[in-house]
Amino acid sequence: MSENCSKTCSTCDKDCSEREEQPKSLVEKPHDYSNIKKVIGIVSGKGGVGKSLVTSMLAVSMRRMGYSTAILDADVTGPSIPKAFGIKKKAVANELGILPIETKTGIDIMSVNLLLENDTDPVIWRGPIISGMVKQFWTDVIWGDIDYMFVDMPPGTGDVSLTVFQSLPIDGIVIVTSPQELVSMIVSKAVKMADMMNIPILGLVENMSYLECPDCHKQIKVFGDSHIDTIAEEYGIQVIAKLPLNPEIASLCDKGMIELLQGDYLNEIVDKIEKVTE
Ligand SMILES: Nc1ncnc2c1ncn2[C@@H]1O[C@H](COP(=O)(O)OP(=O)(O)OP(=O)(O)O)[C@@H](O)[C@H]1O
């Protein structure tokens, strides 16, 4: 050991037996022409709970506030982002990299469906190929200047989610659940994964929380009473939005017109993202 050992091996070049190696970061460098300030991951325990919807709505809200916004669709086997925005064009590449497609309101998007010849072609790839593709969406896409990038993660805590958590500098995650899910188990898994990766949880969004009667405006709990508030309290996280089951939302997604959706459903979480990531 050096006589003047300060126990901070990272600032010392002595090769002694007491040396403590720092774990090597696996975070990948983005493309040289990308300058992405904040990255937010949207996760869920299983498919079909509205993770892509929440990702799209967050990007639309941030864009409306004047931020340059992007969506990296890491849900490679179930990519629904291009459809929600009505994107029909295919992405192209030049000698420097791949160019994202811009939506009508100026949100930059990259998704495997923008690279497949037919939207309906299935992605029958093994995990490492899918993980490699998601990494390339970060390293090989020329994103330019982006204030907020939203990453639509694959459902669950599998191989690809792990790759995204390790290779992208995620600043925070939003967990999306629905009342009929095994919420407690899913929240617990997501919280543990985020803790292990040292990533802050910005909050929980409960989708399909209730249905509002168009005549009397009574809120009907279609899936019974939710326990989300108790569970959130148990894990020390905040329920940051409750979205209704709303035929207009489904219709706008189907028509590729999600950018026209009005409503202040996500105001609280948008404020939190702005504050936490300042
Ligand atoms: N609150 C809602 N009201 C009405 N329709 C909704 C709502 N949330 C989601 N949907 C509809 O449910 C379908 C699934 O939503 P979405 O694609 O966002 O789920 P997901 O969790 O991302 O699923 P996957 O992981 O399979 O991609 C979509 O067609 C969407 O329009």
Q: How far is the centre of ligand 1, averaged over its atoms, from the C-alpha of 85 (Å)?
A: 13
Q: Is the CB of 49 under 6 A from ligand 1?
A: yes
* Nearest-angstrom CA–CA distance, 259 and 62: 11
Furthest C-alpha separation in the chain: 80
Ligand 1, atom nearest to 154 Cα: 25
**Domain ranges (residues) in the chain:** 33-276
Q: Which stretch, 24-28, 91-95, 159-163, has highest mean pLDDT?
A: 91-95
Indicate which residue's Cα is closest to atom 16 of ligand 1: 50
Count CB-CB contacts under 10 A for residue 162: 15
Kindly indicate the confidence band of residue 21, based on its pLDDT and cuts at 50, 70 and 90. Answer: low
**CB-side exposure of 101: number of CA atoms within 13 Å?**
20
Q: Which of 43, 253, 259, 260 to mutate to test the pocket of ligand 1 (most atoms within 8 A of CB)?
A: 253
Q: Per-residue pLDDT tens for 84-140?
A: 999 988 888 898 999 999 999 999 999 988 887 776 666 666 667 778 888 899 999
Q: Which CATH number fits domain 33-276: 3.30.420.40, 3.40.50.720, 3.40.50.300, 3.40.190.80?
A: 3.40.50.300
Higher-scoring residue by pLDDT: 206, 182: 206
Higher-scoring residue by pLDDT: 79, 212: 212
Mean predicted confidence (pLDDT) in 71-87? 88
Using only the alpha carbons of the chain, give its radius of gyration: 20
Percent of the chain at pLDDT > 90 equals 41
Q: Is the CB of 246 under 6 A from ligand 1?
A: yes
pTM: 0.88
* Nearest-angstrom CA–CA distance, 41 and 152: 6
Q: Is residue 97 left, alpha or beta, with left meaning phi > 0 and alpha meaning psi from -120 to 50?
A: left
Mean predicted confidence (pLDDT) in 152-159? 80
Ligand 1, atom nearest to 246 Cα: 3
Q: How far is the centre of ligand 1, averaged over its atoms, from the C-alpha of 254 (Å)?
A: 10
Ligand 1, atom nearest to 78 Cα: 27
Indicate which residue's Cα is closest to atom 27 of ligand 1: 78
Ligand 1, atom nearest to 55 Cα: 18
